[in-house]
């Protein structure tokens, strides 16, 4: 799809959202393709400081840096809110730097990275979850459910290089928070303090949802993490974002007409459209009968086939504010599963950049 067409369709599709929310984003996009430049590199001198991981030295809460001339006195750096906001801003300003990537935004794939990094949690054993960023390693990076997420991890490498003090574990979740907010979603509170782990902490395959399965499978997967039926349906609303790729998951197409804007359209479309099996050589998936341009997965359709799930689908389809409130709460819970935050760790809400 051309840049002009994409700009027009996004503006059109956000018109259903409250004007005070959609207008700034629509206006910001009127120029079509956007370009960004990095901050100018800091001038180097003989007193250049070298960043060194200092988790052990400062109780896991900071970094220290050493003078490359051999200074024996390390300076401790403990990141504050404004430091994490700077990381947020860096990500936000790059989300749409590549107009040819998917629908023009890395936001959806970054949400998926944060989701899949967190969704491996097992409450019974206390293993998995966002504390570790173990998808950096095989075999977890090669799990079928994580296909295509290398694009998200690679996107964040320059950010990690620019802000070496942030752990991959916090960076991935912060990227998910940033993407949700910048795609006109609700505010998502963030707490820092995740620590990276090595390959030994990789989780076994099969902990993430299988799109080909139905309601029993969904309950087994999400109950294992500590979620209830309402929370399962609220989390599913993230399918308003992004699309499937036949060369990754095997499935193909977007769930909604506005895959870079978070709305309750996923629920509306589930209820209002007529869905039929797609006739193709790929795995079983649904397509909308009217345009044949949208898709639903078997696991999505399970939400309207199950009476308890369907009640919540109806609630969220009828009330976008309720969806935003519940989605913010449940995605925050997901992103924090299994993280041993220090007592008194603050929850921060970041200021949006382009939304």
- Residues with active-site annotation: 116, 255
Show Cβ contacts of residue 154 under 8 Å, excluding neighbours closer than 6 positions: none
Distance between CA atoms of residues 330 and 332, nearest Å: 5
In sequence order, the 6+-apart residues with CB closer than 8 A to the CB of 280 are: 252
Residue given tokens 């609700």 in the structure block: 186
| Structural tokens at position 240 | 């308003």
Q: Look at the alpha carbons of 212, 217, 223, 229 in this order and tell me if their dihedral is positive or negative.
A: positive
Beta strand segments in the chain, E: 49-53, 63-67, 75-77, 243-244, 253-254, 275-277, 286-288, 295-296
- Distance (Å) of CA 41 to CA 37, 139, 155, 190, 226: 11, 36, 20, 28, 45
In eight-state DSSP terms, residue 181 is: H
- DSSP one-letter code for 185: -
Token readout for 276 is 């039929």
Structure tokens at 74: 């390390």
């Amino acid at each position: 799809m051309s840049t002009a067409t994409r700009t027009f369709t996004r503006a059109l599709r956000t018109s259903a959202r409250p004007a005070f929310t959609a207008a700034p984003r629509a206006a910001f996009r009127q120029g079509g393709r956007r370009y960004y430049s990095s901050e100018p590199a800091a001038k180097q001198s003989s007193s250049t400081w070298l960043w060194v991981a200092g988790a052990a030295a400062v109780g896991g809460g900071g970094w220290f840096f050493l003078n490359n001339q051999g200074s024996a006195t390390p300076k401790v750096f403990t990141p504050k809110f404004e430091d994490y906001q700077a990381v947020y801003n860096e990500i936000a300003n790059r989300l749409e730097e590549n107009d040819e990537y998917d629908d023009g935004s890395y936001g959806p794939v970054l949400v998926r990275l944060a989701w899949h990094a967190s969704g491996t949690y097992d409450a019974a054993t206390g293993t998995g979850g966002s504390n570790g960023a173990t998808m950096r390693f095989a075999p977890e990076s090669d799990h079928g459910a994580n296909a295509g997420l290398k694009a998200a991890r690679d996107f964040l490498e320059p950010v990690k290089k620019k802000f070496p003090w942030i752990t991959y574990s916090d960076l991935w979740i912060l990227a998910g928070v940033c993407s949700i907010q910048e795609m006109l979603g609700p505010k998502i509170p963030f707490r820092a303090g995740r620590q990276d782990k090595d390959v030994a902490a990789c989780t076994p395959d099969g902990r993430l949802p299988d799109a080909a399965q139905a309601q029993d499978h969904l309950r087994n997967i999400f109950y294992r993490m500590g979620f209830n039926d309402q929370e399962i349906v609220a989390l599913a609303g993230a399918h308003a974002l992004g699309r499937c790729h036949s060369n990754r998951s095997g499935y193909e197409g977007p769930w909604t007409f506005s895959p870079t804007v978070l709305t309750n359209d996923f629920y509306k479309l589930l209820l209002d459209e007529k869905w039929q099996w797609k006739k193709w050589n790929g795995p079983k998936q649904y397509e909308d009968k009217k345009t044949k341009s949208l898709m639903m997965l078997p696991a999505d359709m399970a939400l309207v086939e199950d009476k308890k799930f369907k009640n919540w689908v109806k609630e969220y389809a009828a009330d976008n504010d309720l969806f935003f409130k519940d989605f913010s709460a449940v995605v925050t819970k997901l992103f924090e599963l299994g993280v041993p935050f220090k007592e008194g760790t603050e929850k921060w809400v970041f200021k949006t950049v382009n939304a």
